[in-house]
Structures are given as structure tokens and as C-alpha cells.
Amino acid sequence: MDMNDAEAQKKILNRLKRARGQLDAVINAVDEGGSCRDVITQLAAVTHALNRAGFLVISNAMENCIEDPEAAEENDGVTTQELEKLFLALA
């Protein structure tokens, strides 16, 4: 991922911070004996936020590979085959 892409980095950080907040809500719900429904709802939200962050990272890396495959591989060390595997790991 091109960490110099400030907009992409901001989007990813926002997703991760949202996931962290939702995970804190899960921990609090379990700690306070919250309902199963509340815990599962918050866990689903955490999972969704983390998946979205992962997809943003991968899509940004793919975009960089399309623009300049050789530079992307040199800078991040990730080939298009590795990106495919990473994408499938999230799917």
C-alpha cells in the first residue's frame, strides 16, 4: 500500500478506529453480562469494519499495481499473485 496516499490512509484509519470502538463495545457488553443479541450485533459490526479496512488496503495496493506494477512490487514487495491471495483471505 502506498502510505503516501493520505486519503486512502485516512479512510483505512477511520475504519480501524471504528472497529476498535465497536470491539470496546463488545468487551463492555461481555464484561457487564450484556445480552447475546448485543454481543453478536457488535461482533458483526467489528467484523464488517475490519473487512472493509482490509478491502481498502488491498484495493489501494491493486490500484498501485495497475498504475505501475514494477514500482509497486519494489516498494511494497507485493506481487499481483500475493494480492489475490490476500484478497481471498478476506473473502
Residue ranges of domains in the chain:
6-90
Contacts made by residues 22-28, CB under 8 angstroms, sequence distance 24+: 22/46, 22/49
Per-residue pLDDT of the chain (91 residues; tens, 9 = 90+): 555 578 888 989 999 999 999 999 999 999 999 999 989 998 999 999 998 898 888 888 777 766 666 665 565 667 777 877 877 887 7
Question: What pTM value is reported for the model?
Answer: 0.70
pLDDT digits (tens, 9 = 90+) for 38-63: 899 989 999 999 988 988 888 887 77
For 25, the grid coordinates are 463495545
Buried/exposed code over 2-35 (b: 16+ C-beta within 10 A; e: otherwise): beeeeebbebbeebbebbeebbebbeebeeeeee
Domain 6-90: give its CATH code: 1.20.58.1000
